[in-house]
A and B are shown apart, each in its own frame.
Chain A
Amino acid sequence: MDILLPALVLGAIGFVLGLLINLVSKYFHVEEDSRIETIEAMLPKYNCGACGYAGCHDMAIGLLNKKAMVNQCKPIKQEAKEALMAHLDELFKAEKTSTNN
C-alpha cells in the first residue's frame, strides 16, 4: 500500500496533465501544410536531432523547403529512405508543372 499510493497519485497527476495538454493542443491547433505531415510520417520520428534540426518536424519543413537532404537523417532505414526520396521527387515535380502552367 505504501508503494501503491504514490504510484497512483503520480499516475493521476500525469493523467490530468496529459488530458490538459490534449485539450490545449486541440484548442490551439495550428493548420499546417499537409505536405509537412506526410513527409514527417515517413521520417523515423525518433527526434534524435542527428540531422541538425530540432526534431523530425523541423527536418520535414527543411526537406520541403529543399534546405535539407534526406541523407542527413541517420537512423532512417534504406527502404524508407528510398520511399521518401521518391515521394519528394514527385512533390517537387508536381510543383514545377503547376508553376509552369
Chain B
Amino acid sequence: MSISGLISLAFTAMIIENVILNQFLGICPFLGVSKKRSSAVGMGVAVVAVILLSGIITWSLYRFVLSPLKMEYMQTIVFILVIAALVQMVELILKKTSPALYKALGIYLPLITTNCAVLGVALINIRKDYNFAEMIVFSLFIPLGFLLVITIFSMLREKIDTAPVPKAFKGTPIALITAAILAMIFSRFGGLI
C-alpha cells in the first residue's frame, strides 16, 4: 500500500471509523474514566500502549506461529492470553513509574484486559489481512482516536459538572446524551474520504 493509502487508513481509523463513536468498542472506560481530564488522558495513553503492543505481538504470532501451524481457530484464545499478560505488565510498570496515575485509574487499569477495543483491533488486523505497515498504522491510530475522543469527552464532562443539568439527567444519563451528540458530529466526517 502506498503512503497515501496509509495516510487515508490512519485518518479513517482515527476519525471516521472512530473506535468509540463509530464502532462502539471500549465504552466502559470511556464512561468510567472520563470524569477528570488528567485520568482520561492517562487512560488514553495506557490504551495506546496496550493496543499498539498487543497489535504487533498478536499479528506476529498469527503470521509466524498460528498460520504456518494451521491453528487459525486458536486466534481468539491466544490473543486474549497475550492481552491479559500485556495489561498485567503495563499495570506493574505504571505502579512503579507513575503511582498517581496508577491510583487515578484504579480498577479501570486491569479492566483494559476486557476493553473490547484491544481484542477488536487484534482481530480486525487479522480479518482485513493487513501487512506489517498497515497493521502498525491501524493499531496506532485506532487508540489515538480513543485518546482523542476520551479527552474531548472528559473536557465536556468537566463543563457539564458546573452546568445546571435537570435532576433526572444528572450523572450517567447526560453523559450518554453527550456521547450520542458527539457520535453524530463524528459521523459527519464520513463524507471526507
Please report A residues at the B interface, Cβ cutoff 8 Å.
5-6, 9-10, 13-14, 17-18, 20-21, 24-25, 28-30, 54
User: Chain B nearest CB: distance from A38 CB in Å?
Assistant: 20
Cα A73 to Cα B84 with chains together (Å) = 27
List 14 other contacts, CB 8 Å, given A17-B85, A20-B85: A5-B69, A6-B71, A6-B74, A9-B66, A13-B61, A13-B65, A13-B81, A13-B82, A20-B89, A21-B85, A24-B89, A24-B92, A30-B99, A54-B110
Chain B: interface residue total (CB-CB under 8 A): 22
| A17-B81, A20-B85, A54-B106 known; A10+B93 contact, CB < 8 A | no
Residue of B nearest to A28 (CB): B96
For A30, list chain B residues within 8 Å (CB).
95-96, 99
| A6-B71, A28-B93 known; A14+B81 contact, CB < 8 A | yes
Number of inter-chain CB pairs below 8 Å: 46
- Near A by CB (< 8 A), chain B positions 83-126 give 85, 88-89, 92-93, 95-97, 99, 106-107, 110
User: Chain A nearest CB: distance from B27 CB in Å?
Assistant: 20
Are A9 and B85 closer than 8 Å at their CB atoms? no
Are A21 and B107 closer than 8 Å at their CB atoms? no
Are A10 and B77 closer than 8 Å at their CB atoms? yes
| A9-B71, A10-B81 known; A28+B61 contact, CB < 8 A | no
Are B92 and A25 closer than 8 Å at their CB atoms? yes
Q: Is B78 an interface residue (CB 8 A)?
A: yes
A-B contact pairs, 25 of them (CB 8 A): A5-B71, A6-B69, A6-B71, A9-B65, A9-B66, A9-B71, A10-B78, A10-B81, A13-B78, A13-B81, A14-B81, A17-B81, A17-B85, A20-B85, A20-B89, A21-B89, A24-B89, A24-B92, A24-B93, A25-B92, A28-B95, A28-B96, A29-B96, A30-B96, A54-B110
